[in-house]
Every structure is written in structure tokens, then in C-alpha cells.
Amino acid sequence: MVRLEDNKFYTEAKPLEALPLPAKVYIPLSQHLGKPCLSLVKAGDSVSLGQKIGSVEAHVYSPVHASVSGRVKAIVDWPHPVLGRAKAVVIEADDSCGPQKMDYLPREDIGELTAENIKNIIFDSGIVGMGGASFPAHIKLNPPKQVEVLIINGAECEPYLTADYRLMLEKTQEIIKGIELVVKCLGIKKVFIAIEDNKPEAIKAFRCFNYNICVLSSAYPQGGEKQLIKSVLNKEVPRGKLPFDLGVVVHNVATVFAIYQSVYLNKPLFERVVTVTGSILEKPKNLLVRIGTPIKELIAFCSPLKEEPAKIINGGPMMGIAQYSTDAPVIKSTNGILLLSKKEAAPLPEEYCIRCGACVRECPAGLLPCMINLASERSIWQEAISYGALDCIECGVCSYVCPANRRLVQSIKRAKLEAVR
């Protein structure tokens, strides 16, 4: 793991602020790992806030919900921040179709809910892993075997991002209630809340509760599941195995907060916190945003810009994805929008590998990035796989440490794609 300049100072002191209601939302039918949803609505339909608008018959999927009350304009092929393009339900906000804010009536029977009841609510609410992985949360709450340890991931190790940090500061009690629900679902007693030491205020906030707080020294990519388990429990998840195999489950703080909202407030997942940041923004912020809001509306709200962005990234600088269109909407896994200046985005000249071994030493997955890169450049995909390309978590550390500026992650991603064709 490596230490990076965290650049969180742009937004770490910025409280959560709601982005004004968008006029139109573009809600992708695929925002999770698994089978894309099919639309349950058609053009002309009236929908109300929180209504289920997408579902499918499958084992691995998560339903999607309307993030505004309004009228369905169309189901279109639309820019998607992760997939490139995907089907999306376009809804024009219209107050005559229903309220634009939910009157949350806290559920009074929380204590009487069984683990099964809670899991069903979480599934129906469309909750997925919100740290970036988008794995349906209810599946993690139905492990194939008994787990003993729950780790709450508050590491937020990716530079610039502060969405989880602000949530931990401002919604501490709610996150604790969410943790209690997860504990009930899994029937476990051992819980660790893992937070990096560059978030002292969050550590202080959680110390008021009766849980083990695991303070980690800041390092990247410590927020990856396997890396976090190693840091907290000093246990390695072997290649090809999952945390379940070690009796461990990891949930991100934003996911646990969404779980709280679904169970306590009957609120499906239709909005989330997004950090909008970068040196060229005059007003970087942590925004509460409706799912489906085009990225350009977030940027406009944080403008003016000091210069035109050379690159716009969905996520952070290490694992985020560069966007080709600001029409792409915020989805359930969007934790940040990062704008880079021309100088920040300029690629360094790529040189020959000098066999220094830095990429091998620093790879958190124990791979040989330089060898995968060589195989990938020669299109020998099977060789790339034999060096472990499929186990790459695409953290970008190898590219970051490479003195020859080799495009290692890009070539490894290519090998992964080609290998499964």
C-alpha cells in the first residue's frame, strides 16, 4: 500500500448540502452487479417519489426507484458513468404527480422485525454496496455460511473524496442504528468500525458508542475489502476466495446509512452523498443528490470554474472512471465527481520498463503488473491471466509507483476484458 496526498482539504469541512431538485432525471436500469433491471413503467406514466420503476427475475440484482415524482418521458439508451451507455428511465419532475420530499414516518415496530423482515426491506429498497462495488446488499446479508465478524468500512482511502467522512460526522447515530440492523441480520457480535487516522473527528464521533474503533494509518488502497481485512484482522483472503470464507463481512458506512433509512424510515435508495471537488472549482461541496441527476448539474452548482476541466472523473483519481459526457447521471455507487485541470490531467511520457520491481512490491493483490503489462501489449491474453490479471482490483497503485510511467492499469484492464470475451 502507498501513502498519497489525500487532497481532502477541498471539501472535508463542507457540510452536506442538498442539490436543488433536477428538472429531469435519467435513472439507469443497471446500477448494480448482476442482471440489469427491466422497466416497470412506460412513457406517459405518472410515478411518485420512491416508486419501484425497475426490477427483473434474477438471483443477483437490485431494484431501482423513482428519485422524483413526475411523468415518464421515455426509456432511452443514455450515457452511463460506469458502463458507457445503458438503458435509462427519463422522468420529468412534476409536482402534480406527488410530493418531491418524503414525509418520513419512523417505523415503530423496529424491535419486532425479524432478521428475515429486515433483509426483505433492504432488498426491496434497492440497496447496493455504495463504496463503489455496487454488490446487492441483501446478498451479503445472506452469507453461504455463518460469519463471525462485521467490519464497517469508513476508510475512504481514495484521495479527494469526503462523502463518507461527512456522513460519519453528521449521521453518526443513524449509522450506528444501521450497524445494529446488520448485526441482527447476520447474528454476530464482533464488530469493528475501521476509520483512517486522517479523519480524527469521525473517530471521536464513533468513540461515543460501544463498538471497537479500529484506527488505521492512512494508506491506499486500504478501503478495498481484502486490504481492509488484512489491516483490521491481519488475515489474508486467499486468491479466488471471498471474505465469507474467513467468516468476515464488510459493509461501507454509506451502505449502512442507506440500510438505516430503508428500515427505520421506509425510504428506498433514491439519493446519495456525492463529493464534487477539484482545484478548478470555486465552490467544491458534499452534495445530497437524487439518483439520475446529470453530472453537469452538480458541476454547475459548484461553479464557477477557474478553467475548463480537461478531465471529469466519476469517483476518485485512482479508481474513478473518466467521463465522455456530463449527461451521464449520478448512480447508486457515485461517491464523487472530480474535475482535473489541463496541467493535472496531462499524461507523463511513457518509457521502457527498467525492471525496478516497484509495481510488484507495491501491488496489494500480490501480482506481477509488469509481466501482465508485457503479455497484454503482445495480446497474449492467457499469459496475462496466468500472471493473475483477473485478481487485479484496478487500484492504480502500480501505475502510480512506476518510474517509467507505464500504462499498467489500462493494459491490465484490457487483458481482463479480452480474457472473458
Q: Of 29, 216, 398, 415, which one interacts with ligand SF4 (CB under 6 A)?
A: 398
Select 15 or 403, whichever has its Cβ closest to ligand SF4.
Answer: 403
Task: Determine contact, residues 275/264, Cβ cutoff 8 Å.
Answer: no
Q: Is 383 in the site for ligand SF4 (CB under 6 A)?
A: no
Min CB(357)–ligand SF4 separation in Å: 5
Sheet holding 52-55, edge to edge: 38-39, 52-55, 64-65
- Residue 354 Cβ, how far from ligand SF4 at the closest point, in Å? 5
State which of positions 276-295 bind ligand SF4 (CB under 6 A): none
- Contact region with ligand SF4 (CB under 6 A), list: 21-29, 69-77, 234-242, 350-358: 350-358
Q: Is 416 in the site for ligand SF4 (CB under 6 A)?
A: no
- Using DSSP's 3-state secondary structure scheme, residue 128 falls into strand
Q: Which stretch binds ligand SF4 (CB under 6 A): 59-67, 76-84, 300-308, 347-355?
A: 347-355
Dump strand ranges (E) for 235-307. 248-252, 271-277, 285-290
Torsion sign across C-alpha atoms 15, 18, 20, 24 = positive
Residue 364 DSSP label? T
Q: Is residue 404 a contact residue for ligand SF4 (CB under 6 A)?
A: yes
**Could you say whether residue 397 binds ligand SF4 (CB under 6 A)?**
yes
Q: In the complex with ligand SF4, which residue's Cβ is closer, 63 or 388?
A: 388
Residue 200 as a binder of ligand SF4 (CB under 6 A): the answer is no
DSSP state of 268: -
Q: In this structure, are strands 149-154 and 70-80 parallel, antiparallel, or unpaired?
A: unpaired
User: Does 226 help bind ligand SF4 (rule: CB under 6 A)?
Assistant: no
Minimum distance from residue 367 beta carbon to ligand SF4 (Å): 5
| Among the listed residues 50, 131, 309, 396, the single contact to ligand SF4 using CB under 6 A | 396
Instruction: Give Cα 187 distance to the centre of its chain.
Output: 26
CB 99 within 8 A of CB 69: yes
Task: Closer to ligand SF4 by CB, 273 or 370: give it.
Answer: 370
Span near ligand SF4 by CB under 6 A; candidates 27-35, 271-279, 291-299, 360-368: 360-368
Q: Kindly state the smallest distance separating residue 368's Cβ from ligand SF4, in Å.
A: 8
Q: 3-class DSSP state for residue 147?
A: coil
Report yes or no: 364 and 395 within 8 Å, Cβ to Cβ: yes
CB of residue 2 vs ligand SF4: minimum separation in angstroms?
Answer: 9
Size of the site for ligand SF4 (CB under 6 A): 28
Q: Does 355 bind ligand SF4 (CB under 6 A)?
A: yes
* 406 lies in the binding site for ligand SF4 (CB under 6 A): yes
The grid cell for 179 is: 450497524
The one segment of 124-132, 138-146, 286-294, 393-401 that binds ligand SF4 by CB under 6 A? 393-401
Taking CB under 6 A as the criterion, the residue among 92, 170, 394, 418 binding ligand SF4 is 394
Report the relative pairing of strands 190-196 and 212-216 from DSSP bridges.
Answer: parallel
99 binding ligand SF4? (CB under 6 A): no
Whose CA is closest to 359, among 317, 305, 402, 396?
402
Q: Which of 98, 393, 407, 410 binds ligand SF4 (CB under 6 A)?
A: 393
Whether residue 243 contacts residue 250, with contact meaning beta carbons closer than 8 Å, is answered with: yes
64, 185, 412, 415: residue in contact with ligand SF4 (rule CB under 6 A): 412
Cβ contact 249:225 at 8 Å = no
- Site for ligand SF4 (CB under 6 A): which residue of 43, 354, 380, 417? 354
Instruction: Single out the residue of 18, 300, 346, 356 in contact with ligand SF4 (rule: CB under 6 A).
Output: 356
102 or 393: whose CB is closer to ligand SF4? Answer: 393
Exposure letters 208-224 (e unless 16+ CB within 10 A, then b): eeebebbebebbbbbbb
Of 46-54, 121-129, 140-148, 364-372, the window that binds ligand SF4 (rule: CB under 6 A) is 364-372
DSSP annotation of 168:
H
Contact 141/122 with Cβ under 8 angstroms?
A: yes
The answer, yes or no, to whether the previous bond of 36 is cis (omega within 30 of 0) is no
Strands 248-252 and 149-154: parallel
Handedness of CA 379, 416, 37, 327 (dihedral sign): negative
In the complex with ligand SF4, which residue's Cβ is closer, 229 or 365?
365
Structure letter (DSSP) for residue 144: S
Residues that bind ligand SF4 (CB under 6 A): 353-359, 363-365, 367, 369-370, 392-398, 401-404, 406, 408-409, 412
